[in-house]
DNA sequence: CTGAAAGCGCTTACAG
DNA sequence: CTGAAAGCGCTTACAG
């Protein structure tokens, strides 16, 4: 069994060189090597720096993260918990978070919670054993472990869905209420007032806000909650299919449906197909997220575009602010601009 | 700035307890705690075990992975390099690899290479600093760092696409040649002999095998390579669109197109839409992978289903065999069964 | 400007 | 059956 390490020309695996190897080679102490490698202000003399650099290059030395983490009691690994990696919208965000962290010399470790509180807590405790400096969470659900961390003031950034518990931890996402409201206004203003909504889970603040915005937007156009035709649902494509089945069995059948996210809209679309309803001819479907695949496989879907790239950047920025000592409660939420995307007209 | 740790009722963050805390509490040495916690055979007396267990429970002690990794010169973090996390097929595999590793008490760290040799090498060296016990790679590309690792006999498992360099490292995937051949046979046997193929990158063994199988399958049905209508392409949806544009500008227009993967087929489908070609009425599209979203958004796509779940399990099993001391060259490739999925008929 | 020393949390021969 | 000691690779007061 071989360990991961550098390889010499003859194909044998070399041991990683350590700070001690470099020190010996440069004829200085490990402390000095450490300072030079980390660019500590307390500058070493030019000639020492040069000697150390040469030794580093010769030995292809790269500091080991384990030793540093143990000493500093903090690693540079940042877990990102996501509800469903196979949702392309979520994974687009994961990619952007990864890039933002990488720019700042942190590595992201992706954890798939499947919206399961047990898995969420398992990750939370597991990650603590890696001495992580903070955690980013998308689609957080209620769980005892999360509650404790929020109350304990741990370094946490919530993405897309706010914390289920009150706390100082910042949030990055869009204004879900206004997004829902905009969709409702659009419907009302374009003769789509025979409308309905497939809602998300009650436990999700984002879902609740989208629904509240939708209701509020309709009310502003004199459409009553009874005519808003809310149907309960979840966040997966199967949930969307089920909820659509229910919604379309009602009378009158809606002319437009606001789905809590794009995946749910995919599910609703399948039900429309089965019912021989053309989208958007017979039924206009709205989603939220703007899955990157929409352009290719869902040219019939209008949706609210959420800026995945900007999210990662905001998460990276906020984490660094916290690590730099800024108090979490002083950090304003990053509410990013969304825009409606109309398709299939 | 707070560190990640457990939290007491009053909401303050506690320091993680260490093996020393447990030892003190149980009135034994740290060595004993270590043995008990790791269930070392060299059994401790029943009463010692009980005392240690009690202390562990009292303090909610969980061994820190950093200390262990430093001492053993090996962490339990396994990087999984993927070409494109936002491809739902790849992320389905990532999820299954994660589950398989988790079952074996390893954590997966997901790395998005974007098929970029530079990023691939950056990850490879970065990961080495975490003293990882091995690496799983999907869609590996040629890069100097990878070459060195393969030649050095590092613990590597290739998924879906074989190593670009000769070496002992095992492979997990399907028989791409036969998959391509089956598609060709299907076309020839169903009156779809006016066919074409959108190929993948030359650098990918999987792509080459699919193409070779397709050509071979056609040849077996007396269709010559000139009538196979090969078009060069890549692996993204945009690539598929471009290649389809080229393919459909030729004469005669194909009645069936074999796309190197599902994403490429998505791109081809868009081009068909623009040309007012019905799929599968006017053009039958075949892919490979069977993206989990197909059922919902691509009910028109026939494809070769690759068993994502079985892949993760095989990767986990093989890595453990290697860690248990089995020589890599003794481990046979895991060639998993695929099946054709016909849709939209 | 630089080094010796301590210590982060673990595991593992070694000795008893 | 158990403990003392060493050591994995780093960083950081502290002293000079």
Name the strand (E) or helix (H) holding A238. helix A237-248
In percent, the amount of chain B with pLDDT more than 90 equals 86
Instruction: Classify residue A198: in a domain, yes or no.
Output: yes
Q: What is the mean pLDDT of chain B?
A: 92
Chains A–B, number of C-beta pairs less than 8 Å apart: 192
Instruction: Classify residue B343: in a domain, yes or no.
Output: no
Pick the residue of A14, A61, A66, A279 with the most B CBs within 10 A to test the interface with B by mutation: A66
Express each pLDDT in B262-315 by its tens digit. 999 999 999 999 999 999 999 999 999 999 999 999 999 999 999 999 999 999
With CB atoms and an 8 Å threshold, state whether B152 touches A7: yes
Assign residue B317 the CATH number of its domain: 3.40.50.2300
Residues of A in contact with B299 (CB under 8 A): 270, 273
pLDDT value for B200: 97
Residues of A in contact with B132 (CB under 8 A): 4
Of the pLDDT bands very low, low, confident and very high (cuts 50, 70, 90), residue A306 is: very high
pLDDT at A11 over 70: no
pLDDT value for B88: 87
Average pLDDT over residues A43-61: 90
Express each pLDDT in A141-153 by its tens digit. 999 999 999 999 9
Of residues 23 to 42 in chain A, which lie within 7 A of strand C by their beta carbon? 27-32, 35, 42
Q: Are residues B167 and B315 in the same domain?
A: yes
Q: Tell me which chain A residue has its CA closest to the CA of residue B17.
A: A129
Instruction: Classify residue A223: in a domain, yes or no.
Output: yes
* Other beta carbons less than 10 A from residue B285's beta carbon: 29
Question: Residues with Cβ < 8 Å from B198, sequence gap 6 or more?
Answer: B231, B233, B240, B243, B244, B247, B257, B258, B259, B260, B264, B268
Q: Are residues B280 and B329 in the same domain?
A: no
Q: How far is CA B207 from CA A186, A332, B144, B201, B225, in A?
A: 46, 48, 22, 6, 17
With CB atoms and an 8 Å threshold, state whether A86 touches B95: yes
For residue A270, the distance in angstroms to the closest alpha carbon of chain B comes to 6
A28 CA from D15 C1′ (Å): 17
pLDDT value for A14: 66
H helices within chain B, ranges in order?
19-26, 30-37, 46-59, 65-72, 88-103, 117-128, 144-151, 176-189, 205-220, 237-248, 262-274, 294-297, 308-323
The total of structural domains in chain B comes to 3
Q: Are residues B5 and B32 in the same domain?
A: yes
B268 touches strand D (CB under 7 A): no
B259 CA from C5 C1′ (Å): 65
Q: Are residues B206 and B101 in the same domain?
A: no
pLDDT value for B44: 74
Instruction: Classify residue A137: in a domain, yes or no.
Output: yes
With CB atoms and an 8 Å threshold, state whether A3 touches B94: no
User: Distance between CA B227 and CA B193 in Å, rounded?
Assistant: 9
B18 touches strand C (CB under 7 A): yes
Q: Are residues A183 and A170 in the same domain?
A: no
B38 CA from C16 C1′ (Å): 23
In percent, the amount of chain B with pLDDT more than 70 equals 95
For residue B252, the distance in angstroms to the closest alpha carbon of chain A comes to 25
* β-strand partners of B31: none
Identify nearest nucleotide to residue A22 by CA to C1′ distance.
D9
Express each pLDDT in A103-144 by its tens digit. 999 999 889 999 999 999 999 999 999 999 999 999 999 999
pLDDT value for B222: 95
Q: How far is CA A119 from CA A92, B106, B296, in A?
A: 22, 15, 27
Q: Are residues A113 and A190 in the same domain?
A: no
B19 CA from C9 C1′ (Å): 7
Lowest mean pLDDT among A88-92, A198-202, A282-286, B166-170: A88-92
pLDDT at B1 over 60: no
Q: Are residues A167 and A269 in the same domain?
A: no
Residue B273 · residue B288 · CB < 8 Å: no
Q: Are residues A169 and A205 in the same domain?
A: no
Of residues 99 to 158 in chain B, which lie within 7 A of strand D by their beta carbon? none
B60 CA from C11 C1′ (Å): 20
Pairing of strands A284-289, A230-231: unpaired
* β-strand partners of A124: none
pLDDT value for A296: 94
Q: Are residues B298 and B225 in the same domain?
A: yes
User: Distance between CA A332 and CA A318 in Å, rounded?
Assistant: 9
pLDDT value for B15: 77
Instruction: Classify residue B342: in a domain, yes or no.
Output: no
Q: In three state form, how does the secondary structure of A129-178 look?
A: CCCCCCEEEECCCCCHHHHHHHHCCCCEEEECCCCCCCCCCCEEEECHHH
In percent, the amount of chain A with pLDDT more than 70 equals 95
A243 touches strand C (CB under 7 A): no
Q: Are residues A301 and A328 in the same domain?
A: no
Express each pLDDT in B45-101 by its tens digit. 888 999 999 999 999 999 999 999 999 999 999 999 999 888 889 999 999 999 999
Residues of B in contact with A62 (CB under 8 A): 125, 128-129
Q: Which letter does DSSP use for residue B13 in this model? A: B
With CB atoms and an 8 Å threshold, state whether B4 touches A296: no
For residue A219, the distance in angstroms to the closest alpha carbon of chain B comes to 33
- Higher pLDDT pick, A293 / B1: A293
Enclosing domain of residue A252: 176-305
pTM score of the predicted model: 0.90
Please give the protein residue whose CA is closest to the C1' of the nucleotide D13.
Answer: A31
pLDDT at A3 over 70: no
Instruction: Classify residue A270: in a domain, yes or no.
Output: yes
pLDDT value for B11: 42
pLDDT at B3 over 60: no
Instruction: Classify residue A225: in a domain, yes or no.
Output: yes
Residues of A in contact with B126 (CB under 8 A): 107
Express each pLDDT in B18-35 by its tens digit. 999 999 999 999 999 999
Q: What is the mean pLDDT of chain A?
A: 92
pLDDT at B255 over 60: yes
Q: Are residues A203 and A292 in the same domain?
A: yes
Assign residue B37 the CATH number of its domain: 1.10.260.40
Instruction: Classify residue A243: in a domain, yes or no.
Output: yes
Express each pLDDT in A246-265 by its tens digit. 999 998 899 999 999 999 99
pLDDT value for B46: 86
Residues of B in contact with A64 (CB under 8 A): 129, 131
For residue A267, the distance in angstroms to the closest alpha carbon of chain B comes to 7
User: Distance between CA A297 and CA A303 in Å, rounded?
Assistant: 14
Average pLDDT over residues A57-79: 96
Which among B42, B63, B84 is the end of a domain? B63
For residue B225, the distance in angstroms to the closest alpha carbon of chain A comes to 30
Question: Which nucleotides of chain D are near protein (any atom < 7 Å from a CB)?
Answer: 1-13
Express each pLDDT in B205-233 by its tens digit. 999 999 999 999 999 999 999 998 999 99
With CB atoms and an 8 Å threshold, state whether B4 touches A65: no
Q: Is the peptide bond before B252 cis (omega within 30 degrees of 0)?
A: yes
Q: Are residues A144 and A246 in the same domain?
A: no
């Amino acid at each position: 069994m071989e360990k991961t390490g550098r390889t010499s020309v003859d194909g044998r695996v070399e041991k990683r060189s350590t700070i001690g190897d470099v020190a010996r080679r440069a004829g200085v102490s490990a402390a000095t090597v450490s300072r030079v490698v980390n660019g500590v202000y307390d500058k070493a003399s030019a000639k020492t720096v040069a000697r150390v650099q040469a030794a580093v290059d010769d030995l292809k030395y790269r500091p080991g993260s384990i030793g540093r983490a143990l000493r500093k009691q903090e690693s540079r690994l940042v877990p990102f918990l996501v509800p469903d990696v196979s949702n392309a919208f979520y994974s687009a965000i994961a990619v952007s978070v990864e890039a933002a962290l990488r720019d700042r010399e942190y590595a992201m470790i992706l954890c798939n919670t499947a919206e399961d509180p047990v898995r969420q807590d398992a990750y939370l405790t597991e990650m603590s054993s890696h001495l992580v400096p903070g955690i980013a969470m998308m689609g957080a659900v209620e769980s005892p472990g999360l509650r404790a961390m929020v109350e304990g003031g741990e370094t946490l950034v919530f993405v897309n869905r706010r914390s289920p518990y009150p706390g100082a931890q910042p949030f990055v996402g869009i204004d879900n209420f206004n997004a829902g409201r905009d969709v409702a206004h659009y419907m009302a203003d374009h003769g789509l007032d025979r409308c309905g909504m497939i809602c998300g889970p009650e436990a999700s603040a984002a879902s609740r806000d989208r629904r509240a915005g939708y209701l509020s937007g309709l009310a502003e156009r004199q459409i009553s909650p009874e005519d808003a035709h809310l149907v309960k649902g979840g966040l997966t494509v199967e949930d969307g299919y089920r909820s659509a089945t229910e919604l379309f069995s009602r009378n009158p059948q809606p002319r437009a449906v606001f789905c809590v996210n794009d995946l749910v809209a995919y599910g609703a679309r399948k039900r429309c197909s089965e019912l021989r309803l053309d989208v958007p001819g017979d039924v206009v479907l709205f989603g939220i997220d703007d899955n990157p695949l929409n352009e290719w496989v869902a040219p019939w879907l209008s949706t609210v575009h959420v800026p995945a790239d900007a999210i990662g950047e905001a998460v990276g920025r906020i984490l660094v602010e916290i690590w730099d000592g800024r108090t979490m409660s002083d950090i304003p939420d990053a509410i990013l601009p969304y825009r409606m995307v109309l398709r299939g007209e």
